[in-house]
Amino acid sequence: MLIRIWNYQTARENVAHFEAFEQNYGLPMVSRQPGCLGVELVRKRHEGQPEGPNAVYCMISRWESYELLQTALASQTWREEIELFLAQGFGEGNGVTYVYNLVASTL
């Protein structure tokens, strides 16, 4: 199994719109891809620290295999969702993605 983590930041004034977009479009699109085992969106907490100008997120998705993840990323559906995402004005070019092999889990 693979874990894909997409780190992203958006301006605080975009939080409500960003979260609604991901809940209504991003997460459902990812979760419907063949080989996706689940997807979550988390927002960083600022425990005891002042909030900065941006909200920080991670989208965590689990995949059956690297091949199925690559097929999803290359799909027309994924490309269309990215275009729709970019059209929302959340900010461009600040996302970073990491892919990990699952080594151990209690889930």
Rounded to whole angstroms, the Cα distance separating 85 from 47 reads: 29
**Is it true that domain 2-101 has CATH number 3.30.70.100?**
yes
| Mean pLDDT calculated for residue range 77-95 | 88
Cβ 56 vs Cβ 9: under 8 Å: yes
The per-residue pLDDT of the chain, averaged, comes to 94
Q: Is the pTM of this model over 0.95?
A: no
Q: For residues 61 and 102, give the distance between their C-alpha atoms in angstroms, rounded to a whole number.
A: 12
Share of the chain above pLDDT 90, in %: 83
What would the pLDDT profile of 36-61 be if each residue is shown by its tens digit?
Answer: 999 999 999 888 888 888 999 999 99
Angle at 10 between CA 81 and CA 66, to 5 degrees: 45
